[in-house]
Amino acid sequence: MLSAFYWDPDPEIFSVPYLHFPILWYGVFFALGFWFSFLIAVRVLVRYFHLHPSYKKLDSAHLKAKAHAIIDRLTVYVVVGTILGARLGHFIFYEDPSTYLSDPLEFFRFRNGGLASHGAVLGIIAATLLFSYRIRKIYPDFTWVRILDFIAVPTPLAGACIRLGNFFNQEILGTPTDLPWAVVFGHPADRSLPVPRHPAQLYEAL
């Protein structure tokens, strides 16, 4: 019997005809994470409106439209903060400074890879702080901590989807193991040997 699961998917789902633009599993999971998070955050905010005395006089349709508009703006802030923060974190912690000093535009070549999750956390903190500062002019009760409450569930969901993308990309590998649920990655992104490993990406997703 096999003591490990062999995993070697093509990271590319398909290429857009005529444009030769590849659609990658990682990008799809990244987008799905933010899409599901958006839907959940809207429901959280609608519930908040229904429970808050200041908004109870408004009808449900109005509250839902208001929640959509607010979360739509918040999502833009968080997505930009996530990508810029993750990219900046990668360059600070993992890249040789000469890489971006010799070619500053490399920072914006996201498709070349290089996103650090801890940098993304800092980016999200900065983005939500800025969003809270701007929206409090209209909604005084939307403090920074309140904004964090709204995204407390969606944020780890998005992170889980991104880790599934890492699993398809065969990156962020676990340590070698002989456990029965070990995974042999056929073509690891770091070009390491295809040996049975802990599926660390799935652990983190869970």
Q: How far apart are CA 102 and CA 66, in angstroms?
A: 46
Return the structure tokens found at 188: 């690891």
The whole-chain average pLDDT of the chain stands at 89
Nearest 5°: phi and psi at 5? Answer: -95, 125
Which pLDDT does position 116 carry in this prediction?
Answer: 83
CA dihedral for 165, 123, 203, 71, sign (positive or negative): negative
Q: For position 1, what pLDDT does the model report?
A: 44
- Residue 42 to residue 65: CA distance in whole angstroms: 9
Contact criterion met (CB below 8 Å) for 4 and 182: yes
- pLDDT band at 3, cuts 50/70/90? low
Residues 17-40, mean pLDDT to the nearest whole number: 91
Largest CA distance in the chain: 65
Task: Write down the pLDDT at residue 58.
Answer: 76
pLDDT in tens, 84-131: 998 888 888 877 777 777 777 777 777 666 788 888 999 999 999 999
pTM reported for the whole predicted model:
0.84
pLDDT in tens, 132-180: 999 998 999 899 999 999 999 899 999 999 999 999 999 999 999 999 9
Which letter does DSSP use for residue 176 in this model? B
Q: What is the pLDDT of residues 180-206, one digit of tens each?
A: 999 999 999 889 999 999 999 999 999
72 — pLDDT class (breaks 50, 70, 90): very high
